[in-house]
Each structure stands twice: as structure tokens, then as C-alpha cells.
Amino acid sequence: MRWFGFGFNAFGQIYGQDKLLEGECFENEQEVKVSSPTELTAQEDRSDCRLKTDCQIRASWSRRASLYLNGDSCVCLSGFVSNDSCGNPVKESRGCKDAIISESYLTLAFSDRLESWDLQKKETSPSWSMEIKTDPEISGTPLNLPLVPGGYIATKTPLYRSLSPHLRAKSLALSSEHAILLSASGTVYTWGLGSHGQLGHGGLTPEEEPRAVEALWGMPMSCVATGGWHSVCISDGGDLYVWGWNESGQLGLPSRGLRKATQQQISQQQEESPCRDASTSTAEEPQEGEIHEEVFISIQAFPALLDITPSCEVSTVSCGCRHTAAVTTTGDLYTWGWGDYGQLGHQTLISSDEPQRVELFKEQQMRVVDVVCGAWNTFASVVKEEVAGP
């Protein structure tokens, strides 16, 4: 299994962390904006971790955490790190079973305890910790951060928040302002700020407590994810549902603002290249007698079904701040939304309100098996596609 990254790289989250000084970021646009999927590599001379082992990726805006689970499990950090742990195993993480990272904290789950470490300080003890009592009946069941026994770990203090046991939480996705929870029965609950329709209840009001998304009742879900102001989920049948803010096309629905920005980019390119063949223009002019009355969507306050491709189902999905990435059961990666940093992986910096396949993986005969979005970047896990013999 190999990991590739693309998008925002100002702090070396994708590559080049060995070039950075403490707190320093890249200034070269080609190093900051990685528009083509680039393989992640471990700093082998500085770390005993390898990205080719059983590795999972966790990402925030300025950091990437690589979680290695085989052998002596550990976490390695890349990106903006205020101590000497960049590229090296975090010594406090030895033996951990799971990890999550935010702009402020690295939270580690062990078999007997939980620890949150303040990444802004050089601490000798965790900022928060909690013992875990082992239940013989569920022994061996892996923790699924940010869920923890009795509650979850938030992105802001207080780090520990309680949850009602009646929710029977299976997984949880958090943004800075709202949350989406998947119960064991497949029911979706949301709460937090709702100003952009990201809660899916049809309005723009906040919810202080978890509330079931009624529009999804009767359709068990298998996966949930959340972006800055949008939410998505996958049904047991592999259908993708989206709701919330669509300003950058992150829902995969027509975005007026995005279309205008695209037209401006095309016009600017044509002005810079006046001899360009008009037949190569991507702008479609309406034919005589044809009227275009396209419906643009800024806020989608109810879940909407998004048909990425009619030929296959969606297996997993992840959200950045204003972009979305989904993996199909055929091993293809589709991305859409804001693309100014190359986070869509299409080898351009163009945004899109339509799901588009990342062609590089297909061209290299790679099958995508997982995807994890940071705020402004994307990380994809791939395996070599098996080619049938003659």
C-alpha cells in the first residue's frame, strides 16, 4: 500500500519537510501548490517508520500525522511542528492504537488510556488524559477516534465531550463548527452551527444536541464525513448524499460563483493568448433558439443524492474545507470543489462543481482504496491494480 498527496504544501505536509526550518514555510508556488499526486516518502535517515507498512494518514490544515500500526506502532509528524519531532517518531506515541490531529492537539489512543498533547508547547506530560477500562466482552474492539468511551474528543477545549449512550455511536466526523454522527443502526445525527445548511435539517439554525437527519430515515448509512461547512454520507447501497454550503462546488452541484470564476479564468487566458484557436475554448455558447436556465445552488439545506458515476458505487468519502473526495468500488478516485492549491489532483489549479476522476492513478494502473482530506489537501492510499493475464 502506497500513499500519495496533493494540494497545500506550504509547511511540507506532502514533501520537502527536510528543507524547512522551524516555523518556516515555502514561498515558491510550485512547492506550495502540488497539483499532481505525489508519493509520500518517509525520511529514512531520520525515522525507523516506513510508509510502505500498514500506515494510516490523519491531516489538519498545516500538519500530517502518519500512523504506523504494525510492529512497534508509532506516529510520525510532517508539516508545521514546533519541536524536533518532524519526520521522526513521536516518542510519546509508541504503542498507540489510533491517533487524530488538529491545529492544536495530537490525541493518542492506547489500549488502557487516552492522551492529548498540545502541539504548541514542549510538554513533558499530556494536556489531557483518561484511563480506559477494558471490557472483557468487547476486548479487541479497536477505538475509532474521535469517539472515546462515553463521548468524543473535540477540536477545541474542553477536549472531552460526553455523548448519550442511547445514540450508540459507530463513527463521528467533526468540523470546527459542526458534527455528524453515525449510529450502529445507520442513523445520521448532526449538531452545531447550521448557518450554511450543513446540519441537513432544512433550516439554517444551530442545534445544541444531536438531532437525527429526518430526510435520511429508512436509509441506513455506512459512512459519514464533514468539511468546513458541508456534510456527506454514504448509504449501505453505495449512494452518496451531500448537503450544506456549495460556494466552491464542494457538493458537486452547480455553483454560480464557481462558474463565474471559471469564465473569468478562460477570458483571461484568451486575452493572454489572442491567437488561440477558438475551437479549443471550453465555454459552451447556447445555440440559436436554445435557452439555458440552469439552477445554481448556494446552500443545500436538505440531503441531496449525488450521482458520481452510474456504473459503480461509492465505498468511502472524505471532505476538506471546501472540497470533497470519494473512492468508488472500482478503485477510482473522484474529487470536486475548491482546487486553488491543486487539492483535486487533476494537475491544474482549477476548481470544479462536477465530480471528476483523478486520471493519474488509472493511467498508472493503481487502485485507490482510501482517501483522507486535510483542509486544503488530499491524501490517497493505492495498491497496484492486478492485470488479468491472457
* Average confidence score pLDDT of the chain: 86
In this predicted structure, the answer to whether residue 289 has a pLDDT above a threshold of 90 is: no
In this predicted structure, the answer to whether residue 216 has a pLDDT above a threshold of 90 is: yes
Contact 322, 250 (CB under 8 A): yes
The pTM (predicted TM-score) of the whole model is: 0.87
**3-class DSSP state for residue 108?**
strand
pLDDT value of position 86: 61
Contacts of 336 (CB under 8 A, 6+ apart): 249, 250, 252, 323, 324, 344, 352, 353, 354, 355, 356
In this predicted structure, the answer to whether residue 193 has a pLDDT above a threshold of 60 is: yes
Banded model confidence at residue 286, pLDDT cuts 50, 70, 90:
very low
Residue 52, amino acid? K
Lowest-confidence pick of 16-25, 201-210, 247-256, 348-357: 16-25
Banded model confidence at residue 70, pLDDT cuts 50, 70, 90:
confident
pLDDT, mean of residues 218-236 = 97
Judged on CB neighbours under 10 Å (0-12, 13-18, 19+), 108 is buried
pLDDT value of position 299: 96
In this predicted structure, the answer to whether residue 71 has a pLDDT above a threshold of 90 is: no
pLDDT value of position 279: 38
Between residues 296 and 135, the one the model is more confident about: 296
Kindly list the distances between the CA atom of residue 208 and the CA atoms of 194, 211, 331, in Å, as whole numbers in the listed order: 10, 9, 38
pLDDT value of position 89: 84
- Measured distance CA(77)–CA(67) in Å, rounded: 9
Place of cell 468546513: 228
Kindly list the distances between the CA atom of residue 42 and the CA atoms of 50, 76, 238, 333, 373, in Å, as whole numbers in the listed order: 6, 9, 34, 24, 19
Strands 169-174 and 178-183: antiparallel
Fold classification of 163-271+295-357 (topology level): Methylamine Dehydrogenase; Chain H (2.130.10)
Lowest-confidence pick of 59-68, 155-164, 177-186, 280-289: 280-289
Banded model confidence at residue 47, pLDDT cuts 50, 70, 90:
very low
Between residues 366 and 389, the one the model is more confident about: 366
